[in-house]
């Protein structure tokens, strides 16, 4: 047998086992994901400073919380009221997911989609 072929086969075989380990497949969580999980588990709205301290951001970067959550606020996943952040638990429901999919489909076909107006009693 060719020694180079045997060496290449052994190298490939040893690397495959390294790739299959569960530690190699886990991805580290992003800061935004960590903040979302914190808000999801919290039972009250939190300020940017509280979030920064709980996620171990430096205290002078509490303004970074807004930048990290800006997209989530736009999507409606996170609610920002009175300088406090809270998680919108209605975001996770099946109805909300189907409405988002319908909105995406309508926008794809050039329809203008607006939020429903509140009904006055």
Category of 3 on φ-ψ map: left (φ > 0), alpha (ψ -120 to 50) or beta: alpha
pTM of the model: 0.59
Distance (Å, whole) CA 7 – CA 96 = 55
Q: What is the CA radius of gyration of the chain?
A: 23
Give the residue extent of every domain in the chain.
Answer: 30-108
Distance of CA 32 to CAs 1, 35, 36, 46, 48, Å? Answer: 54, 5, 6, 15, 13
SS3 content of the chain, % helix, strand, coil (to 5): 60, 5, 30
Q: pLDDT tens, 17-76?
A: 455 555 555 666 788 889 999 999 988 999 998 888 888 877 667 788 888 899 999 888
In this prediction, residue 121 carries a pLDDT of 52
In this prediction, residue 84 carries a pLDDT of 94
* The token pair that represents 68 in the structure block: 């990290």
**What burial class does residue 85 get, using C-beta atoms within 10 Å of its C-beta: 0-12 exposed, 13-18 middle, 19+ buried?**
buried
In this prediction, residue 18 carries a pLDDT of 52
Q: Across the chain, what does the average pLDDT equal? A: 80
* The token pair that represents 16 in the structure block: 């495959």
Bridge-based pairing of strands 78-81 and 84-87 is: antiparallel
Is pLDDT above 70 for 120?
no
In this prediction, residue 90 carries a pLDDT of 83
CATH number for 30-108 (one of 1.10.10.10, 3.10.50.40, 3.90.1300.10, 1.10.150.300): it is 1.10.10.10
Q: pLDDT tens, 65-116?
A: 888 899 999 888 899 999 999 999 887 787 778 888 888 999 999 998 887 7
- DSSP E strands in the chain: the ranges are 78-81, 84-87
């Amino acid at each position: 047998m060719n020694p180079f072929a045997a060496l290449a086969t052994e190298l490939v075989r040893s690397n495959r086992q390294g790739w299959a380990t569960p530690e190699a497949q886990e991805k580290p969580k992003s800061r935004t994901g960590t903040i979302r999980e914190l808000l999801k588990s919290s039972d009250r709205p939190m300020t940017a400073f509280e979030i920064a301290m709980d996620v171990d951001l430096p205290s002078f970067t509490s303004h970074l919380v807004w930048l990290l959550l800006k997209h989530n606020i736009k999507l409606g996943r996170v609610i920002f009221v009175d300088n406090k952040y809270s998680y919108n638990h209605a975001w996770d429901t099946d109805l909300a997911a189907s409405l988002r999919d319908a909105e995406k489909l309508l926008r794809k076909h050039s329809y203008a989609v607006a939020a429903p107006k509140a009904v006055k009693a």
